[in-house]
């Protein structure tokens, strides 16, 4: 990794509606410069690159999770813009195909070069964790099992210049076995045994995810909705390192 901004394997999802809520949340951390935070569509669609710049000014590394999915030319041009922002990770849908994934990487490289910043890591979303095996079969008309499909899409991502994939912990052992350790596996749906799962169906603890090959985990509500987010973060960090 050539990034100037070091990343942390425990990423906090900043799933807040307003920048004031983000500011109030981050202000509780004594040293936000050591945090890696995920900005999604909710904040980016409201504030655009300004919210990225604002959070970068606190020293945080940024995972910009916009999950792009369009024709290659459009994705390349969009990622040229995002590549200029100096973020550390961006996401695209692997279902966009090899031409789109390669175009995404070209766009990122061009944008980063233009802005003289490090190239963000390109992560591919395989099947969303909200898609059930029945939906895969009856709505996407896919004849593979969920694990076979996720492995196939991760291989496509690897062959098409992505740096890693977003994956549920459940598919991780099969994925790492098929795709190999020289790839990034970023895992959401993480909970300590004592936490509520919420709407996540496929949860795992930080230790389980790391042992299965996760290179990073994304934690949202257990930290961003906590009354004591700093100690919740510390608990997750301890569990990741256990």
Exactly one of 67, 113, 155, 227 is catalytic; name it. 67
Tell me how far apart the alpha carbons of residues 19 and 46 are, in angstroms, rounded to a whole number. 9
**3 labelled ligand-binding:** no
Sequence-distant (6+) residues with CB within 8 A of 135 are none
Q: Give the DSSP letter string of 30-66.
A: S-GGG-EEEEEHHHHHHHTHHHHHHHHTTT-EEEEEE
Positions touching ligand C5P (CB under 6 A) are: 13, 15, 38, 40, 128-129, 166, 188-189, 198, 200, 218-221
For ligand C5P, give the closer residue by CB, 128 or 177. Answer: 128
For ligand C5P, give the closer residue by CB, 6 or 197. Answer: 197
For ligand C5P, give the closer residue by CB, 164 or 220. Answer: 220
Kindly give the pairing relationship between strand 36-40 and strand 61-68: parallel
**15 labelled ligand-binding:** yes
Query: Nearest approach, Cβ of 242 to ligand C5P (angstroms)?
Result: 19
Clarify whether 67 is annotated catalytic.
yes
Annotated binding residues for substrate, written as ranges, equal: 15, 38, 65-74, 129, 191, 200, 220-221
Residues annotated as catalytic are 67
């Amino acid at each position: 990794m050539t990034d100037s901004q070091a990343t942390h394997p425990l990423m906090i999802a900043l799933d807040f509606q307003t920048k004031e809520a983000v500011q109030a949340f981050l202000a509780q951390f004594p040293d936000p410069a050591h945090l890696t935070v995920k900005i999604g569509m909710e904040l980016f669609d409201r504030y655009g690159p300004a919210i990225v710049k604002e959070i970068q000014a606190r020293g945080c590394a940024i995972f910009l999770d916009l999950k792009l999915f369009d024709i290659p030319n459009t994705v390349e041009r969009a990622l040229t813009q995002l590549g200029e922002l100096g973020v550390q990770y961006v996401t695209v849908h692997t279902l966009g195909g090899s031409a789109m994934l390669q175009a995404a990487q070209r766009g990122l490289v061009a944008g980063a070069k233009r802005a003289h910043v490090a190239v963000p890591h390109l992560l591919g979303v395989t099947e969303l964790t909200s898609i059930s095996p029945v939906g895969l079969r009856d709505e996407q008309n896919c004849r593979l099992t969920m694990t076979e499909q996720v492995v196939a899409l991760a291989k496509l991502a690897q062959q098409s210049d992505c740096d890693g994939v977003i994956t549920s912990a459940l598919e991780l052992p099969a994925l790492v076995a098929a795709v190999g350790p020289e790839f990034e596996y970023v895992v959401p749906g993480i909970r300590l045994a004592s936490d509520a799962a919420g709407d996540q169906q496929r949860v795992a603890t930080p230790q389980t995810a790391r042992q299965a090959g996760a290179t990073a985990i994304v934690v949202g509500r257990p930290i961003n909705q906590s009354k004591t987010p700093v100690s919740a973060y510390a608990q997750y960090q301890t569990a990741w390192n256990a």
